[in-house]
Structure 1
Amino acid sequence: MDLLAQLRAGLPEEAVLTDPEVTGSYARDMANFCAAGAPAAVVLPRTVEQVQHVMRTASALRVPVVPQGARTGVSGAANAADGCIVLSLVKMDRILEINPVDRLAVVEPGVINAVLSRAVAAHGLSYPPDPSSWEMCTIGGNIGTAAGGLCCVKYGVTAEYVLGLDVVLADGRLLTTGRRTAKGVAGYDLTRLFVGSEGSLGIVVRATLALKPSPPQQLALVAEFDSVAAAGRAVSEIMARGHVPSLLELMDRTSIRAVNDMAQMGLPETTEVLLLAAFDTPDPSADLAAVGALCEEAGATQVVPAENAAESDLLLQARRMTFTALERIKPAMLIDDVCVPRSRLADMLEGTTAIAEKYGLTIGVCAHAGDGNTHPLVCFDPADADEERRARESFDEIMALGLSLGGTITGEHGVGVLKKDWLARELGPVGLELQRGIKDVFDPLGILNPGKLF
């Protein structure tokens, strides 16, 4: 029995897609410079048992499987391989439980981040990880890439909220990891191992997630700086003095102008850097006043606190629009997410500016300043061969710069195809050998998302 026949033997007819025009639309995520193949089929299961059937079939026939969520990733981790089964989990989109006493939710992998956030808010709870694509991205994809977001500086990243997982292994067995309790240290932490594994170790089919009480409404301020160095000093002082903002975000001049051009936001284009800080404390105005004073001491040319929640939301909307605004400058964009120690944030920004000048490119930078996670966004025209070459070379130089500053090649977007060569440089030969060994334990046939990470 061939692949399609075996798949259909355990799946509804509508769950197996083979039309090349349809399957081609599942071939890649949002990353540039990442190869993608032609899948043999796209499968859309609705149950754990259907996922197990897919994996048993793939294992028996030695067919690669590429798991996918909403394909909002930017590293090529969801890109298809030739002849693979694309296992799209978007139909497994049920919120199975919200438990206010234990402060947890149990969800399937296809649940949209924003849908979960709104559902738990009705119970006075919050799910803090909030990637910029939170209105589209899935919880399964967030787990696969260990996603972050604007609130990470106070509330942490996805890995800190995943209590337990149900995972279908490469051979179709079902593994349950983790716990529902507030504490638990029994055995190796396999749950953390799967978070950030980009579908290379197993297929997450259910997740138990920790929740927090809903915080008070946050208030924000914006501080303008005429130099990157001054903005870097402000970030360092805010963190060194023990402040815990709910977010601390940065936009450079290129990003500011792009947002203004797209949405006429009225952001100040004469400044070099905008720093956005917000607090969701019982007295946010007092915290903003203290942070505003630190910004002025560091050299801010102007500090403007929001007067109400609506003004705060408008400021944060401008930051969330940065990626979309910069995409309008050129036909294509390379999205980086190099994370450096907070103390080296200014060095990272200044170095990126120098790289942009060296290659004659537009490179906008926004950043989760509170945790040193920068997003240099390289704008280019792929129809211009020389400009495409310069974009590739600038991208590599940005990652090399990040490593030289004691940073990492990815803070929240993952490795995928785009950064696999750089992963080897960051891990070193011993680290790479051990990670490949872990992969072999979980996927001895090498069928799970081949060509990613390593």
Structure 2
Amino acid sequence: MTLVEELRTLLGPDRLIEDADVQASYSRDEAEWAPYGAPLLVVRPRTSAEVQEVVRACLRHRVPLVPRGAGTGLSGGANALDGCVVLSTEQMTRIVEIDAVERLAVVQPGVVNDDLRTACAAQGLWYPPDPASAPWSTIGGNVATNAGGLCCVKYGVTRDYVLALEVVTGTGELVRLGRRTAKGVAGYDLAGLIVGSEGTLGVVTEVTVRLRPARAPERTVAGHFASVVAAGEAVRAIGEAGVIPSALELVDRHCLAAVDAWKNMGLSVDANVVLLGRTDAPGLAGETEAATMLACFENAGATWAAQSTDQQEADALFAARRLAYPALERLGPVLTEDVCVPKAAVPEMLARIETAAARHDVHIANVAHAGDGNLHPLILTPAGDDAARVRAQSAFEQIIVDALELGGTVTGEHGVGLLKRGGLERELSPAVQAMHRAVKHALDPAGILNPGKVFT
């Protein structure tokens, strides 16, 4: 019996996608120019037991298995291999439980981030990790890449909120990792190990996340700057002042113009760069933090800065920040970086990004989770221009080198996937790489889970 026949018998034909044209839409994520192949089959299980059946069948037939969430990734981590099985979690969308007493939620991996946040808000609770893709990306995908977002400067990333996981390992075992209690140090932190592993150590089938109480309304401070370096100086000054904003985002005029052209939001910003800061500290503390951020903006050379009194306008600017990538993508291929450097190095890193753009003759738009040093230079190229593609890829690699020289990392939240494997090998020593490969071999000895991703 072939693998397809076996899975058709085990799961039923309604769980399988066998049409090649439809399968093609599951063959890659949003990473520009990352290689991908044609899958043998796409499966869409609905339960943990069905996922286990798929993994065990792939083991028996020695066929690679590529887990996939919503396909919003930007590193090629969900890209198919020729002849693989793509396991999509898109039908695993159940919010199993929201426990207001323990402040936790249990969800299947296909639950969309914003849907979880909305369900929690109805009970006066809040799930903080909020990647810009939150309206589309899923919790399982967020776990796979340890996604961050706008709030992570103050509230942390996905790993900080994952309490427990249900996972099917590369040996076909269905296991529970972590705990539901506030404390727990029994054994190694295997749940934490799975977070950020990009589907190479196991297929996540259920996630238990920590929640927080709903927070106070935020105050917004906006500043206009003549250059990204000046905006970076303001970011460094805020860190030196000891303020931890609830968000501190950088977006340049190219991104705002692209969003406005797409969504007609009425954005009219006469500045090369906009810095958006927020504080959710209550009462006088919030006023003090907002005033400190404003002073940091002004002292760094802002051409205009003010605390917003128009909540609708402030929300529109943050909405534009979230829409920057898809807006630019409409204009042509976009190669998206994801380096992270210490806050003190943000001005220098932004300057080096400008240098890379000039050196390689490419146009780079800038957005950033500036408050924690996570920068997303967006390298724009004309469609069909192969020479521009090569220059863009060279600039991409140069930015990685520069980030590492400044004490940074090759990826803050998008993951390694296919695009950052070379950078990862430069970042980690051979001894540490060997440790990673030993873990991979222990949990996936047959090497069927997302092979070729993260480590070659």
Q: Normalization by structure 2: what TM-score?
A: 0.96
The answer as to whether partners of 2:143 and 2:195 remain within 8 angstroms in 1 is yes
Q: Secondary structure at the match of 1:223?
A: strand
Q: Which residue of 1 aligns with 2:293?
A: 291
Letter of the structure 2 residue corresponding to residue 27 of structure 1: S
Indicate whether 1:14 and 2:10 are aligned: no
Can you list the C-alpha shifts for 1:359-404, whole angstroms capped at 9, x where unaligned? 2221101110110000010011351121111111111111111111
Alpha-carbon shift at residue 238 of structure 1 (Å): 1.2
- Provide the aligned length of Structure 1 versus Structure 2: 453
**Counterpart residue type for residue 437 of structure 1:** A
Alpha carbons 1:218, 1:312 under 8 Å: kept: no
- Residue 266 of structure 1 and its aligned partner are, at CA, apart by 5.5
Of 394-403 and 109-118, more deviation after overlay is shown by: 394-403
DSSP-derived class of the 1:334 partner = strand
Matches within 5 A, 1:305-454: 305-329=307-331, 331-454=332-455
User: Within 1, Cα distance between the matches of 2:268 and 2:224?
Assistant: 8
1:141-152 superposed matches below 5 A? 141-152=141-152
CA 1:92–1:260 in structure 2 vs 1: closer, same or farther (change >3 Å)? closer
CA distance in 2: counterparts of 1:102 and 1:121, whole angstroms: 15
Matched, 1:105 2:101: no
Secondary structure (helix, strand or coil) at the match of 1:118 reads helix
CA RMSD after TM alignment: 1.5
* 1:278 counterpart = 2:259: no
Q: Structure 1 pair 349/267, CA: closer, same or farther in 2 (3 Å)?
A: farther
Q: Distance in 1 between matches of 2:42 and 2:229?
A: 49
Mapping of 1:15-414 within 5 angstroms? 15-265=15-265, 267=267, 270-283=270-283, 284-329=286-331, 331-414=332-415
Structure 2: how far apart are the matches of 1:5 and 1:260? 50
Cα pair 1:219 1:312 within 8 Å, conserved: no
- How far apart, CA to CA, are the structure 2 residues paired with 1:85 and 1:452? 15
Amino acid at match of 1:210: R
1:219 shift after superposition: 2.1
Q: How far apart are the structure 2 equivalents of 1:117 and 1:256?
A: 26
Distance in 2, matches of 1:93 and 1:256, equals 33
The one-letter code sitting in structure 1 at the alignment partner of 2:361 is: G
Cα distance, 1:233–1:384 mapped onto 2, change above 3 Å: closer
- Structure 1 letter corresponding to 2:294: G
Gaps of 5+ in 2: none
Distance (whole Å) between structure 1 residues aligned to residue 450 and residue 334 of structure 2: 24
Structure 1 residue 78, shift from structure 2 partner: 0.4
Structure 2 counterpart of 1:316, one-letter code = F
Shift of 1:279: 1.2
Quote how far apart the aligned CAs of 1:141 are: 0.3
CA distance in 1, matches of 2:367, 2:207: 31
Deviation, 1:183, is 1.1
Deviation at 1:269, TM superposition (A): 5.1
TM-score when normalising by structure 1: 0.97
- Aligned-residue offset at 1:171: 2.4
Q: How far does residue 290 in structure 1 lie from its aligned partner after superposition?
A: 2.5
SS in 1 for 2:317: helix
Cα distance, 1:272 vs structure 2: 3.2
**Aligned partners of 1:198, 1:76: CA distance in 2, in Å?**
10
Unpaired segments of 5 or more residues in structure 1? none
The alpha-carbon distance between structure 1 residues 44 and 328, as it changes in their structure 2 partners (threshold 3 A), is closer
